[in-house]
Structures are given as C-alpha cells and as structure tokens.
Structure 1
Amino acid sequence: MLTLAALMLMQVVAPLPGPAAPAGDRALYADCVRAANEGVPGAIDAATRWLNASGGVPARHCLGLAYMGANRPADAARAFEDAARVAESKGDASAAELYGQAGNALLLAGQYARAEVVLNNALVLAAQQGKAKGELLIDRARAREAQGNSTGARADLEQAVTLAPNDAAGWLLLGALARREERLDDARPAIANALRLAPNDPDVQLEAGNMAAMDGDYAKARALWNAAVRAGRDTPAGKAADAALLRNPE
C-alpha cells in the first residue's frame, strides 16, 4: 500500500470499453493502459493518435493515464475531464468516476479550487450512497481544506466515514483536522480508527504519534514516529516523523 498522502488513481474505469465493444477497441485500450501505467516512451503520442482516430472515452481516459505516467497531472486532469464530459453526454455510468479521477489529478497539480468544482460534478452523478461516494467526499474534503475551508472539509469527512467506514484515509484526515483544531476528544477516536485500519501506513503512524505527543505520552509517540520512519523513510510522512524524533529525543 502506498502512503495515504499519495492520491492513487484507479487504472480502469468500467465500462472502458464494455464487453459489447469491438474486440479491437478492447485490445487497443488494454495495450494503451499498459503502456501508460508502465511509463512507456511514446504512450502519450499513441493515446493521442487513438483519440484523433475517434477513440472516444477509452482513448481520452488512456491519454489521461499516459499524462499521469509522465508526471503531468494538470494535463491528465484535462484528459480525464474531457472523458467524463463525453461519458456524461452519452449517459455512461463511468462519468462520475472519471470526474473523480480528474479531481484527483487536479489535487496533485495543486489546482484546489478547480478540483472542488470537478469533484462536485462527480458527486452529483454518483449514483449510490456507498463507498465510492465516500471516497469522492474524502477527495473534496482535501480540496476544501487546501483552500482554508475547514468547516466544509469537516462536513465532507463526517459524511465520508459513515459511507466508507473502512477507508483509513477518511478517518486519518478527520482526526488530523480535529487535532489541528484542538478538538482532541474528536481527534483521538478518529486517529485510532485510522491506525486500526492501516497500522503500517507512515502517514497514519505519524499522525498517531502526533496525537500521542499532544497527550503527553512521548514514549508512545516516539515508537509511532520510529515506525513511520521505517515504513516510509523517503516519504513526506517519514521525513516529518524523523524531524519529530529530533525535536523530541528520549
């Protein structure tokens, strides 16, 4: 599992293309996605050629993945959003998830206001009050908090953890927000849930250590920070944990 801070894009959005699609389209999509995910040189050009040859939603989606593989999230967001618009115009159920991927890419690009708009579109189209909608709410909470809207972020996260109670990211973000706002009675159970669900994730270990330090249990805090360093030494969480250990020696 990558750290919860790394926003992971789902690599296949069903039906892209569906079982009724020509075998050639399915093969093109599979090859294009594989090249995009592996960062194969020329993946962007190949996806663009397919799109220009009327590849439709699958080609647009694959182009977005190719841009992600090339670490160009802003371009990826445009391709995903383009795919979402086309899917929405056709009544394709994949539109909500495609808007969600566009929102994730915009978060990676630091375009938080635009990410919120796109994620709003995804939430309007999300058909069910379940895990998928909870994940979209978590993403919108990220966008809102990044813009200083902690009230909106908290509302999204409180709803998200009821819809996706086994998603550690929702509990982690909810607990971290509460801790920063010094609502410690709310922070403790949320962070405990995140640690229960993702005990080996360095982001969770870092935040649980921060919570323990605020409670004055520095032995527990150092143990958790050390675990975060071991789990992700080169990640932002691992580096923050290492800095916390230097500030709080035994």
Structure 2
Amino acid sequence: MSIFALVLLGQVGAAPAIGADPLQLPAEVRDRKPRTRQVQTVEAPPGPQIDGCIAEMETDPVHGADAARKALAEAKGEERVRAGLCLGIALTQLERWDEAQRAFSTARSSAMPDDHASRARLGSMAGNAAFAGGQPDSALALFDSAQTEARQAGDGALGGAIAIDRARALVTLGRNDEAAAALAEARALAPDNAQAWLLSATLSRRMDKLLEAQAQIEKAAQIAPEDPETGLEAGVIAMLSGREDAARRSWQSVLATAPESAAAATAKGYLAQLGNGGPAKP
C-alpha cells in the first residue's frame, strides 16, 4: 500500500470510529436536512387548503410559520394534516427542529388511521427534524414507526427511503451491524435507489469489507454514473484496495463531471497528494 493510501486510511478509518466522529458516512448522511421535498408527495386529505402557505414559507418562512400556526389553531380533524405539514415545512426553513418535529407529528396523528402512506411520510419528516436537531434516539423511534406504516402501505420506494433514514440514525448511535441490515432492506425495497447503494458501499468500506464495498459502489455507479459522491467514494475504495490507477480515474471523473461540487474539491485534494490533479487521459 502506498504512503498516500496509508494517509487516506488514517483519514477515513478502516472501520467506523463512532466515539470521536459519530457520523462516519458521507455528506448526504451526515449533513442532510429533513426531506422537505416530500411535501410534494404527502397526500393531504380533502378539505380547506392553506392558501399561499407553502409559497409564503419559501419566500418568508417567518410569516409562513405564523400563517400555518394560525391555520393549525383553527383546523379541525383532517384539516390539521395540511396545517401541521405547512407549519413543519416553514419551521425546517428556520432550522427550529424541535418545533418542526412536533408540527410533523401533529400532522401525522391527524391523518386517517388507514392512510398509511401519508402517516409514513409525515413520520419520516418528523424523524428527520429530530435527527437534524441532534436527537438520534428520538429520530430512530419515529423512523421505526414510519417504516411500519410504509410496510402497511406497500410502498417500496417510500420504505427504502425510510430504511436509509434508519441507517443514518443507527450509525450515529454506533449500531453499525443494524445499520448495514437497514441498508440491505433499502436495497431490497428500492433496488434503483442509487443512494442506498452508495451508502451501503461507504459503510461496508468503514467496516473493512472492501469486496462488498466494491460491488455496491459499482451498482451505485450503474444507476447514477455522473454522481460526484459516487465517483469520490469509488476512488476511496479503489485506493484502499491497492488500485491507485483506478482511484485516480474515479477522482478525475469527478472533476470532469461536477467541477464545482464539494466532492470535486475533495477529489482535487486527493489527486494533489498523488501528484497529479490534472484531467484524465483518454
């Protein structure tokens, strides 16, 4: 193994060192905010809508939160689903995570008991708010409940996304074997989810399972060939496997396909340590 590979190994670790750096996963896992894009897929029940709530939240989250809070105070029954959802979205924009968690939980509890898909999505959003607020135990409990609802809904894509959320929380809690099992479930439920394969490869690499990591990163690359995080991780796995030329090619591909990304900045630093940060040769 080259000197640089040893340095790289020291940076990323042969296995997760949960104590000092609790999130030994890439940025998607470590820094990802609650998935507010799910507002587009939550199926709010019929009833009065909050006019302009989401639009106002996007332009002025403070006023958006005020409008949603007033609507929630006046809402009845299933109308509280939409009101709680809008309030939670506004509060995530303000990074008021505890309040956002409560708002999403209110929306979830207001949904019809048999509307498992909406309850799963809202529970997942509550879990993401708890996670962003530094409460992985609470987040995991919310993700577990959301996963149960997703199974009852029979929604594989949703179940796969929530399984990834569970893995993030489990890694934070140092329960890596359980996190690996959660990612295996994500891959089974949503085999075309590139992130599930990428995060599986990263965790396998952290657990010093380089053969598994290689197979998983290859699958991620098949699904999302131009994803810079996948290219960056592929290079790390190759380097730790003693394949310096393959690592160089992976990192050069990141510079070529996403030159302005954070992954490209990291790849450039790795290539500089190898002595060649230039473009890949044909």
Query: Do 1:37 and 1:65's aligned partners in 2 also have CA atoms closer than 8 Å?
Result: no
User: Equivalences for 1:120-199 in 2 at 5 Å?
Assistant: 120-126=144-150, 127=152, 128=154, 130-199=156-225
TM-score of the aligned structures, taking structure 2 as reference length: 0.76
Unpaired segments of 5 or more residues in structure 1?
none
Is the 1:16–1:57 contact (alpha carbons within 8 Å) kept by the matching residues of 2? yes
Q: Is the 8 A contact 1:38 1:69 kept in 2?
A: no
User: Take 1:39 and 1:201, find their aligned partners in 2: how far apart are those partners?
Assistant: 32
Q: 1:161 to 1:232 in 2, by over 3 A?
A: farther
Q: CA deviation at 1:170?
A: 0.7
Question: 1:70 corresponds to which residue?
Answer: 94
Contact kept in structure 2, 1:60 and 1:83, CA below 8 Å: yes
Residue of structure 2 equivalent to 1:12:
40
- How well do the aligned residues superpose, as a CA RMSD in angstroms? 2.3
Q: Does 1:114 align with 2:135?
A: no
Contact 1:13-1:98 within 8 A present in 2 as well? no
Question: Deviation per CA, 1:93-146, whole angstroms, max 9, x where unpaired?
Answer: 311110011112223233211110100110122221612111111110111011
Q: Is the 8 A contact 2:62 2:90 kept in 1?
A: no
Ranges of 4+ aligned residues in structure 1 off by more than 6 Å: none
CA apart distance, 1:40: 4.6
- Matched with 2:81 is 57
Per the alignment, residue 202 of structure 1 pairs with 228
Deviation at 1:41, TM superposition (A): 4.5
Q: 1:199 deviation in Å? A: 2.0
Q: Which residue of 1 aligns with 2:258?
A: 231
- Tell me by how many angstroms 1:147 deviates: 1.0
Greater CA radius of gyration, 1 or 2? 2
Q: Which residue identity lines up with residue 171 of structure 2 in the other structure? A: E
What is the alpha-carbon distance in structure 2 between the residues aligned to residue 188 and residue 39 of structure 1? Answer: 45
Task: Say which SS state the counterpart of residue 74 (structure 1) adopts.
Answer: helix
Unaligned regions of 5+ residues in structure 2, if any? 1-26, 277-282
Distance 1:44 1:115, change over 3 A: same
3-state DSSP of counterpart to 2:40: coil
- Which residue does 1:104 correspond to in 2? 128
In structure 1, give the amino acid aligned to 2:175: N
Query: In structure 1, what residue type is equivalent to 2:115?
Result: D
Query: Conserved in 1, the CA contact under 8 Å of 2:42 and 2:122?
Result: no
Q: Deviations over 1:141-169 (max 9, x none)?
A: 11101111001001111111011000011
- Partner residue of 1:217 out of 243, 247, 252: 243
Q: 1:164 to 1:228 in 2, by over 3 A?
A: same
Q: What number of residue pairs does the alignment pair up?
A: 239
Higher relative contact order (CA 8 A, sep 6+): 2
